[in-house]
Amino acid sequence: MKSGISAWVQAIKRGDVVSDEQFDACLNAFTKRHTSTHYTPCDVALQAVQFLCAEEGRGHRILDVGSGVGKFCLMGAALMEHAHFFGIEQRNSLSTMADELADQSGLNNVSFLCGNAMNLNFKDYTGFYLYNPFYEHLEPFSAIDESIELDEDYYHIYAGFVRKQLQNMPKGTRVASYYGMGDEMPLNYDLVNQSFNNHLKCWIKR
Ligand SMILES: C[S@@+](CC[C@H](N)C(=O)[O-])C[C@H]1O[C@@H](n2cnc3c(N)ncnc32)[C@H](O)[C@@H]1O
């Protein structure tokens, strides 16, 4: 019988409802401390993934900008075996946890990179997920830890970078954003759906 993250993944593949608690049980003590505020709830991830991969016949390459311990990407990879999910995370502790979970998961369509999202070219991806990645620069008390320098200027620089990258994506590009100020979204995207008290927003490029 499979246990831990592998059991969670197999349950998703079968179409079972999985819980946040099951996922949290796979985390180490440090990363578990942030579960309720910093990692996407399973039901939100499910809906976001279904939106991002709704168009059939495309080789979806979905990027989670600030992927934390990889919860969104792992769920996506379990749900959509023909899509590939990529996560970039600046905090080494979280990215290492994500790598460990990916190794144990048995999935071969999920990859994590430790680094700054500013170093990526968004044209390498087809769809994007954003769970308020830069907010800690506006509200330092909400930060996961003190391992990175927090400064309001970074918020504007990072949000501006993401906006510019998204602005130049091809027509039809899909973005799902959860919470956030909306500052990353360019005006050439239509808001096509909102759920979870309007915190999950689904966007398509015109
Ligand atoms: C609210 S958490 C979301 C985690 C994950 N996307 C999820 O939904 O479970 C935001 C994450 O973005 C990361 N982050 C913030 N700015 C980043 C940047 N410039 N490059 C890479 N990661 C970043 C933070 O370290 C944090 O782990």
**Is residue 85 lining ligand 1, measured as CB closer than 6 Å?**
no
CA of 201 to the centre of ligand 1 (A): 17
First CA to last CA across the chain, in angstroms?
Answer: 47
pTM equals 0.96
- Where residue 96 sits, what CATH number does that domain have? 3.40.50.150
List Cα–Cα distances, 106 to 40, 87, 103, in angstroms: 21, 17, 6
Q: Whole domain around residue 117: which residue ranges?
A: 4-205
In a 13 Å sphere around the CA of 195, the CA atoms on its Cβ side amount to: 12
pLDDT digits (tens, 9 = 90+) for 115-131: 999 999 999 999 999 99
Burial class (CB in 10 A: 0-12, 13-18, 19+), 24: middle
Q: How far apart are CA 148 and CA 141, in angstroms?
A: 13
Which atom of ligand 1 sits closest to the CA of residue 45?
8
Q: Is the CB of 88 under 6 A from ligand 1?
A: yes
Structure tokens at 147: 């391992």
DSSP-assigned letter for residue 14 = H
Is 1's pLDDT higher than 50? no
pLDDT tens profile 19-59 = 999 999 999 998 988 777 899 999 999 999 999 999 876 68
Query: How many structural domains compose the chain?
Result: 1
